[in-house]
Amino acid sequence: MHHSRGKSKNSKIAAAPKQKISYEKKVDSAVTEYAVRALNWLRKAEFLMSAPKLNLCVEDTGYEIAFAGRSNAGKSSAINALTNQKQLARASKRPGRTQMINFFSLGNPDQRLVDFLIQRKSLQGLVLLMDIRHPLQHFDVMMLEWAYSRKLFVHVLLTKSDKLNRGPASKALQEVKAQLKKMKLDFSIQLFSSLNKQGLEELASVMGGRLNFTLDQAQHFDLSSIPDATADELDTDEFDEDPEASMDLDAEDDVETKPQSEA
């Protein structure tokens, strides 16, 4: 069923006024436009390659952001939600694939997202994903300190924010913010949910800034191509009640296949 969903999506939502997508926090309309355009740009993401090791990676030129986080933090789901492509980051959900380094190009092979942390010249920084219910585990603190020591940026996502109500979620955000400050690792941080699409624009805007995405690049911009997260769109069975319990073993053996672009 996952395969048939993508096709009809854009037509279904085209009429909705896009400005209603969670812009409350944005103060400047220029920022909002940039965020929306950056999100549109991210949706041009294409699978580049899976590399089993460092010396087989794509060329180390341009700009790269790595998505890092503990197993089950929601990395693959976040990449899929961000790029609006259900299967883009499916590879690492399969056992034995988690060690692969997956590269995605974002409209340009010199602007990349990597589903794995590798340190090389083009790496600008990390999007560090933590389950909002278990933030700042040992691994996370190691990552933050490592990035800090390398002068890389970190943008923290508190993922699965849909698991908490609004109040507790923003309380968790404030608490982690305070702890980061206390550790003198005062990186940017936001709430994020691949399930209800909270925080997509904010993340797109950060990634755009870090990967040198400019409005010049945003040609043929079309607001109607950006879907809203309406309830009937959400593929809720992709989200398990108990994430620890399952792996996507039913995934077809099509990981190496470049997914069809929905653009």
Ligand X SMILES: Nc1nc2c(ncn2[C@@H]2O[C@H](COP(=O)(O)OP(=O)(O)OP(=O)(O)O)[C@@H](O)[C@H]2O)c(=O)[nH]1
Least spacing, CB of residue 221 vs ligand X, in Å = 27
Can you name the residues that pair with 102 across neighbouring β-strands?
A: 50
Candidate segments 37-45, 134-142, 155-163, 169-177, binder of ligand X by CB under 6 A: 155-163
Give how many residues touch ligand X by CB under 6 A: 22
**CA triple 152-63-199, angle to 5 deg:** 70
CB atoms within 10 A of CB 25: 11
Least spacing, CB of residue 102 vs Mg ion, in Å = 9
Q: Which residues contact 189 (CB under 8 A, 6 or more apart)?
A: 155, 156, 157, 158, 173, 176, 177, 180
Query: Pick from 40, 92, 122, 193: which binds Mg ion (CB under 5 A)?
Result: 92
Which is closer to ligand X, CB of 26 or CB of 70? Answer: 70
Query: Pick from 76, 83, 84, 87: which binds ligand X (CB under 6 A)?
Result: 76
Residue 238 binds which of ligand X, Mg ion, none (CB < 5-8 A, kind-dependent): ligand X
Q: Which residue has the tokens 């908490």?
A: 164
Cα–Cα distances in angstroms (integers) from residue 16 to residues 42, 224, 226, 229, in the given order: 20, 8, 10, 11
Query: Pick from 64, 162, 201, 202: which binds ligand X (CB under 6 A)?
Result: 162
Torsion-angle region of 220 (φ positive above 0: left; ψ -120 to 50: alpha; else: beta)? left
Q: Which residue has the tokens 């990186």?
A: 187
Query: Pick from 40, 76, 198, 205: which binds Mg ion (CB under 5 A)?
Result: 76
Least spacing, CB of residue 131 vs ligand X, in Å = 8
Chain contacts with Mg ion (rule: CB under 5 A) = 75-76, 92
Chain contacts with ligand X (rule: CB under 6 A) = 69, 71-77, 92-93, 98, 159-160, 162-163, 193-195, 238-240, 243
